[in-house]
Amino acid sequence: MPDGPSLTQQQIALVLRRAAELDRDLASIGPAGELDARAVEEAAIEAGLSRVAVRRALAELHAGLLDTPARPARRLLGPPTFELSRTVPGPLDRVERQLHGFLHDQLFEMRRDMGCRTTWIRRRGLEATTRRVIDRAVQRRLILREVNHLDVRLLDEEDWVLVRLEVDVLAVRHAQGKIASAATLAGGGMAVGTVAAAGLHPIFVLVGSAGLGCAGAGHWMGARVYQRRVGDLEAGLAGVLDRVERGDRSARRPHVV
């Protein structure tokens, strides 16, 4: 492995921790100052980690996968996109061929090709629409049924390829919003009716509380629907990356969700 950029003590710890996870073992190293990537690799191997695991962890570090993510801001609705990243064994053309084939099978077409980044959108037309209807009713093999577009980034890191998928989940977010809005309207109507009838009978206090509870339950149900559907998407795509990582030719086969 050629000499790379110098690594800080914090970056060394990240690489070693990730390499230990990949090797299903534990090891640590804590030199003062900075070391180059080759020195870190050799020290980790002496500590009992495999060279393949260390190189993969270094590739993930250089690609930014080991950076501590910023805490997401609190939102009333879920984020409109989610990202899934992983390093998989190369070569790059094999990984690209498998992922692009999978997206074609999922009824997507490439809209833009920017080299290491491609943008894909849902294929339109009678045939694609019919296949989606049949799949929703019977087969349920299209894991990207609720996705309108996604970006695929492939970065070649020597023996490894960084795959980063940015997936649009606006359709799921809209479903969450509809559930929350319907419950809010119902609960708000009950609360307004209670205010209008205030002072007439104590039972209206209970009705008003029920209205507020209805609105809160609607937001909770909408959030649960969002989390479940996005979780299914993430699990399905992770399964595809598992097969790409193994070099399995069946990586194109849609994963049943």
pLDDT digits (tens, 9 = 90+) for 105-116: 999 999 999 988
Q: In this structure, is residue 4 part of a structural domain?
A: no
pLDDT at 257: 39
Residues 157 and 85 grouped into a single domain = yes
Q: Across residues 228-255, what is the average pLDDT?
A: 80
Q: In this structure, is residue 197 part of a structural domain?
A: yes
pLDDT at 111: 95
Per DSSP, the three-state class of 152 is: strand
> Of 124-128, 169-173, 193-197, 222-226, which range is least confident?
193-197
166 touches 198 (CB < 8 A): no
Q: In this structure, is residue 123 part of a structural domain?
A: yes
Q: In this structure, is residue 3 part of a structural domain?
A: no
Q: Predicted confidence band at 203 (pLDDT cuts at 50, 70, 90)?
A: very low
Q: Using CA of residue 125, residue 130, residue 135, residue 136, what is the dihedral sign?
A: positive
Residues 50 and 104 grouped into a single domain = no
Residues 82 and 57 grouped into a single domain = no
Residues 110 and 220 grouped into a single domain = yes
Q: In this structure, is residue 1 part of a structural domain?
A: no
Q: In this structure, is residue 70 part of a structural domain?
A: no
Residue 101 clears pLDDT 90, i.e. is over it:
yes
pTM of the model as a whole: 0.63
Residues 241 and 147 grouped into a single domain = yes
pLDDT per residue over 117-160, tens digit each?
999 999 999 999 899 888 888 877 899 988 999 999 998 877 78
State which H helix or E strand residue 155 sits in. Answer: strand 149-157
pLDDT at 50: 80
Cα separation, 227 vs 19, whole angstroms: 30
Per DSSP, the three-state class of 64 is: coil
Residues 93 and 130 grouped into a single domain = yes
Q: How far is CA 201 from CA 39, 81, 191, 207, 208, in A?
A: 79, 48, 14, 11, 12
In the chain, the percentage of residues whose pLDDT exceeds 90 is 25
Cα separation, 141 vs 148, whole angstroms: 17
Residue 21 clears pLDDT 90, i.e. is over it:
no
Residues 46 and 130 grouped into a single domain = no
Residue with tokens 């194109």: 252
Plot region of 149 (φ>0 → left; ψ -120 to 50 → alpha; else → beta): beta
pLDDT at 106: 95
Compute the mean pLDDT over every residue in the chain, rounded to the nearest whole number. 75
Residues 188 and 101 grouped into a single domain = yes
pLDDT at 31: 45
Domain count, the chain: 2
Domain ranges, residue 58: 9-62
Residues 222 and 180 grouped into a single domain = yes
Residue 183 burial (CB count, 10 A):
21
Residues 91 and 193 grouped into a single domain = yes
Residues 42 and 100 grouped into a single domain = no
Q: In this structure, is residue 200 part of a structural domain?
A: yes
- What are 248's two structure tokens? 């399995």
Residues 87 and 53 grouped into a single domain = no
- In angstroms, the first-to-last Cα distance of the chain is 40
Q: Return all residues near 171 (Cβ < 8 A) that are at least 6 apart.
A: 146, 147, 148
pLDDT per residue over 47-72, tens digit each?
777 877 777 777 777 666 666 555 55
Q: In this structure, is residue 127 part of a structural domain?
A: yes
Half-sphere exposure of 175 (CA within 13 A, CB side): 14
